[in-house]
Structure 1
Amino acid sequence: MKNLFLFVILACLTGTLFAQVDTVDIYSQALKKSLKAAVVKPQGYEHRESAYPTVYLLHGGAGKFSDWHLKTTEDNLLINLSNQYGIIIVTPSVGPLSYYWDSPNQDSVRYETYMIQELIPFIDQKYKTLKMREGRAIAGLSMGGHGALMLSAKHPELFTAAGSMSGVMNIDVGLWKVEESYANSVNQRLEASIGTFNREAPFSPFTVVGLVDRMKENGIFLLIDCGVDDFLINTNRQIHQLLLENGTPHEYTERPGAHTWEYWTEALPFHMLFIHQVFKKNGIY
């Protein structure tokens, strides 16, 4: 079912470009509601028999599935990258500040179950995807960076690579460069969702820095980047140091920039190139 909002935005594009983007409604049994996702298909998709690799691209804390399509500072960025690398790109929606996890306290926050047990099987059934980890990757910005690294660390059978752009690598707001009132508000929502959590090592498994040993074990290719003026820079430097200390291979980059769509628009092509190179190593191309 086409989403009217995206229809209006994309109607100004050529018919060929419009045909490359589907908006789908997925009913979640875990959440007892429907959620939207956008699916970008490479040019020529309808006429090709063979399957495509897939990248799941996650939004941030107050975002939604259409953000990556409407907020980048480069027009048609996802369509162009899908065409360039011959990949399907899926942008799902989750709840605000839900962190892509299953809350032990809130039945309305079961987004890990949704992503892993409902969304991916839906996409694999409906589209011509490579239904194996060697052809599937995940990346995201801010809260979506947390989701990408968390989900890949916990489900290495599903993903071969994961990327974080300006990601929440530690949910401990004491490390964030934000005003105290905002930090307190976020902390209250976090504790309502998962309860009190350990802010020192050993870290909670609900925070990405608490999963570094799993990252070492599962061998997923990792790319982490963050702007030097980003309020989350300290959490990114922390996970980089932890991965160095436990010997987990990863790529880490700091570049000029802050928590902005200008930064993420520039970062995404590097992530897609990184993922494309991993797919090539896996013999996908």
Structure 2
Amino acid sequence: MKNVTILFVILLQLALSAGSGRNEVCIEWVSKALKAEGLEHKTFQSDIIEGEASFHIYLPKQYYQSPEKRLPVMYWLHGSGGKPSQDYRAGGGRGPAAISKHFGTAMQEGKIPPMIIVYPNGLRKGMWVDSKDGKTPVESLVIKELIPHIDKNFRTIADNSGRLIAGHSAGGYGAARLGFKYPELFCAVSMRGAGPLQEVFVPERGPEGNARTRGRVLRKIYGSDQEYFKRLSPLYLAEKNAEKIRKNLQIRQIIGEKDYCLPANIEFHRHLEALDIPHEFTILDSVKHDTHQLMQVLGESSSYWQFYRSVFGSLKTFEQAESR
């Protein structure tokens, strides 16, 4: 009987150890490499996670054609459930390859200034925050390590005038909260179909299809703590840093008419208005919560491209960068 008890204890310990290992494996700080024209997969050593972390980077043709010049950077944050090495859902058109083609073509056609695009690895459900339990410090990794790494290893305009942060869905939420929390690091924020932008984050409130996901994210990322969620939210950060945001950031908010995030986006728009924070707010007719559909519709709009020209200015920006 004693031997049976010992065997049971050993098996239980092994099972718990295996379970813990599986949890660690799920934190994929190094994603699979995605191959596409102009797109590269890179890794760097992180002190924060004590290991390697990956990112994808798109370097436009102008980066190689003019090696004496520096270029601005757009940090593109992917949505929840996606990974930077995927096109996210069946049919593609939503990942770094499609996004790079979308912007790369516009650069070649002269619609927007040439820019580097960085795709950080925000994990499947990292939400672009430091989780309350400390296991997924995505925010710290991006702000404290990735941005300095990019500026050190690529020819960037290494100040806030050369950084735009953008994203779709949870990536739009991440772009808003990181841009609003660190307005001294960026010159612009672009949100598409951003969420969660609501004040309270619970499974019972929001799109029915996402209820279970909200529950898991609330537990794993925010520790089931509504106050923690609130302190990290773009709503709260807009209030806290309103003066700096007004001074430093150009802000654009785009949402589809049929996007389930529309109600919260309208409330967020009104919140920014109440704080007297200038921003562009656009509702696109008949558009759902779909990056690919958004890009198709927006690509035909001259005002859409004008935002990037306004943010990064004329070619003088790049000429001045040569002397830095």
Q: What TM-score range do you get, normalising by the shorter chain?
A: 0.7 to 0.9
State the TM-score, normalizing by the size of structure 2: 0.74
Compute the displacement of 1:159 (Å): 0.2
Q: Give the 3-state SS of the residue equivalent to 1:204 in structure 2.
A: helix
Q: How does 1:131-210 map to 2 (within 5 A)?
A: 131-168=158-195, 169-170=197-198, 172-173=201-202, 174-179=204-209, 182-195=210-223, 196-198=225-227, 204-210=230-236
* Residue type of the alignment partner of 1:118: E
**Separation in structure 2 between the aligned mates of residue 240 and residue 125 of structure 1, nearest angstrom:** 36
**Could you tell me which amino acid in structure 2 is paired with residue 51 of structure 1?**
R
Cα 1:68–1:160 change in 2 (3 A) is farther
Number of the residue aligned with 2:18: none
Question: Displacement, 1:271?
Answer: 5.6
Deviation, 1:93, is 1.3
CA change 1:258–1:53 in 2 (3 A) is same
Distance across 1 between alignment mates of 2:259 and 2:116: 29
User: In the alignment, which of 130, 143, 146 is matched to residue 102 of structure 1?
Assistant: 130
Could you tell me the percent identity over the aligned residues? 25
How far does residue 284 in structure 1 lie from its aligned partner after superposition? Answer: 2.4
**Candidates 313, 320, 323, aligned match of 1:280:** 313
For the pair 1:42 / 2:60, whether they are aligned, the reply is yes
Closer, same or farther: CA 4–64 of 1 in aligned 2, 3 Å: closer
Any conservation in 1 of the 2:259–2:288 contact (CA below 8 Å)? yes
**Matching residue's letter, 2:289:** H
Q: Decide whether the 8 Å contact of 1:165 with 1:226 is kept in 2.
A: yes
Q: Which amino acid aligns with 1:246?
A: L
Which of 57, 78, 98 matches 2:76?
57
Change in 2 beyond 3 A, CA 1:162/1:4 = closer
Tell which deviates more after alignment, 226-235 or 58-67: 58-67
SS at match of 2:79: coil
Distance 1:108 1:71, change over 3 A: farther
Show structure 2 runs of 5+ residues with no match.
Answer: 1-30, 319-324
Shift of the 282–164 alpha-carbon distance from structure 1 to 2, 3 Å rule, reads: farther
CA 1:283–1:191 in structure 2 vs 1: closer, same or farther (change >3 Å)? farther
Counterpart amino acid of residue 155 in structure 1 = Y
Amino acid at match of 2:264: T
Candidates 241, 263, 283, aligned match of 2:293: 263
1:236 is the counterpart of 2:294 = no
Q: Is the 8 A contact 1:60 1:144 kept in 2?
A: yes
8 Å contact from structure 2 (residues 191, 254) kept in 1 = yes
Rate the CA distance shift 1:185–1:22 in 2: closer, same or farther, 3 A: closer
Q: CA deviation at 1:101?
A: 0.7
* Equivalent residues of 1:102, 1:110 under 8 A apart: yes
Distance 1:240 1:45, change over 3 A: same
Q: Which moved more, 1:139-148 or 1:43-52?
A: 43-52
Cα pair 1:37 1:91 within 8 Å, conserved: yes
1:112 aligned residue: 139
Q: Judge conservation of contact 1:54–1:135 (CA < 8 Å) in 2.
A: yes
User: Secondary structure of the equivalent of 1:140?
Assistant: strand
Is the CA contact (8 Å cut-off) linking 1:216 and 1:249 kept in structure 2? no
Tell me what 1:128 maps to: 155
Matched, 1:248 2:277: yes
How many aligned residue pairs are there? 267
Deviation of the 1:67 alpha carbon: 4.5
Report the aligned-residue RMSD. Answer: 2.8
Partner of 1:86: 114
Which structure: larger Rg?
2
The 3 A distance-change label for structure 1 pair 119 and 255 is same
Which residue is 2:93 aligned to? Answer: 71
Normalised TM-score (structure 1)? 0.83
Q: Deviations over 1:198-227 (max 9, x none)?
A: 59xxx8122222222245212211101111
Quick check: 2:187–2:250 contact (8 Å CA) kept in 1? yes
CA distance in 2 between counterparts of 1:274 and 1:160 reads: 12
| One-letter amino acid of the counterpart of residue 53, structure 1 | P
